[in-house]
Structure 1
Amino acid sequence: MKQEMLNELLKEKLIFIFKTQRIDDESLIEAVQAVVNGGGRFIELTYDQPAGEACCHALGLLKERFGRKIILGTGTILDEEEARKAIDAGTEYIVAPNLSKEVCELCKEQDMMYMPGVFTGTECVNAWKWGADILKLFPGCEITLDYAQTLMGVVNVLPYFAVCKMDEAMFEDCLNIGYVGAGISRAVNSRELIENRDFAEIEKRTRRFVEIAARYNEKGGRS
């Protein structure tokens, strides 16, 4: 299951991130629908510490509304307890800003894709040895593309995914240096757009990112 999901992510190259504690149910559904209309499929809901109530509620809401139209994951998972709550609520993959051996082992047990946050060569190698599937170099752009490219070249153990202050130009730059994809948040679903209910603009922005990923695949980029 997780290998199939990883293959799909390597093709799609995009995860669209929503902060569930900042958005009401109706707006979340409409914003995710706009992403789907724009060609996006991978949706990540951020876990709201400590209890994750907003996230777990949103997981159920979106699974009921969209079914297999989206691939629904949970981000900002810090430890095994949070991972278990998200899994019980129906998440399909786990993303984190940190590396946890316990979460690695849980996701292996559940045959679930795990994308831990890493920063150093040691963390990258440990993630690989413990069974992670893809590495979230975090913060992916703020640490400079030169650092990222060097790390990917030296510690080429797993695919690398960028999550940072992402715009269209940065997305292309990330793909060109070796990242297999990127997490997109404010560049598509900013609080201002959601509060103004400008879902048409969310759809347009999503489509532009999807088109960049498609062009990269057509050029024979890494997949």
Structure 2
Amino acid sequence: MVKDRMAVLTALMDQGVIPVFYHPDVEVCKKVIQACADGGAPCIEFTNRGDFASHVFYEVTKHFASADPRVIMGVGSIVDAPTAGIYIANGAKFVVGPILNADVAKVCNRRKIPYSPGCGSASEISYAEELGCEIVKVFPGSSVGGPDFIKAVLGPMPWTRIMPTGGVDPDEASVKKWFGAGIVAAGMGSKLITQELLDAGDYAGITAKVRETVELIKKVRGKA
């Protein structure tokens, strides 16, 4: 089933929390991603961080195309256009990066793939929007000013959709602060898919943690 740009953007915002994950083992990835999808978070940001990560991504994406078509595989840690192209060819439905790169935006726009670049200032956010980015990643979230920065940007730029990564924790106090400031979604990595759960192979535990976080965000947004 083809997931177009608008459907993917809507799914990201509806989901609220985007699990950010990488593991070199294809089978572990399949289990973790299935656990996230079962917990209500089928949009996954797989980070381009290890050797042959794109090969792992290809195998995992191919698997879910038939095993669970709800899963929307995106790629993170993208800093250049050739790498974005490889992942798009391998089935990425959205692209995320720690930085803003105009060439990545062009590659994604040609294929109608959402691109969320990492921005740390109002000028960068505005330039990203000029390049066609619908959801801008603020990174690293806590280091650039946290929820206060989000509020400050949305004052003069209320049309901006922001998805921070770094500093948003899966607990009520953190979720209230960030979503109260006006974010549309948040990337969460090791605080959501903890090393402890991974080491124990506790995939049911990952599902429970993800479900709890998805429900918490719905509650804070008044949608529960």
TM-score when normalising by structure 1: 0.89
5 Å matches for 1:10-89?
10-21=13-24, 24-48=25-49, 53-65=52-64, 66-89=67-90
**Change beyond 3 A, Cα 1:158–1:59:** farther
Q: Which moved more, 1:203-212 or 1:58-67?
A: 58-67
- Aligned residue type for 2:62: K
* SS at 1:74 equivalent: strand
For residues 217 and 56 of structure 1, what CA distance do their matches in structure 2 show?
37
- CA deviation vs aligned residue, 1:160-213 (integer Å, no higher than 9, x gap): 011113322312321111001101111221223212212222111101111022
Superposed CA RMSD: 1.9
* Counterpart contact for 2:20–2:189, Cα < 8 Å: yes
* Counterpart contact for 2:18–2:44, Cα < 8 Å: yes
* SS at 2:104 equivalent: helix
For residues 89 and 96 of structure 1, what CA distance do their matches in structure 2 show?
17
* Residue segments in structure 2 that go unaligned for 5+ positions in a row: none
5 Å matches for 1:103-182?
103-142=104-143, 143-167=145-169, 168=171, 169-182=173-186
For residues 104 and 70 of structure 2, what CA distance do their matches in structure 1 show?
27
* Residue segments in structure 1 that go unaligned for 5+ positions in a row: none
**Change beyond 3 A, Cα 1:171–1:63:** farther
- The alignment of Structure 1 onto Structure 2 pairs a total of residues equal to 216
* Counterpart contact for 2:54–2:86, Cα < 8 Å: no
* Counterpart contact for 2:137–2:162, Cα < 8 Å: yes
* Counterpart contact for 1:45–1:55, Cα < 8 Å: no
Q: Which moved more, 1:72-81 or 1:141-150?
A: 141-150
Q: Which runs of 4+ in 1 moved over 3 A?
A: 216-220
Give % identity. 26
For residues 114 and 158 of structure 1, what CA distance do their matches in structure 2 show?
14
* Counterpart contact for 2:168–2:178, Cα < 8 Å: no
* Counterpart contact for 1:44–1:74, Cα < 8 Å: yes
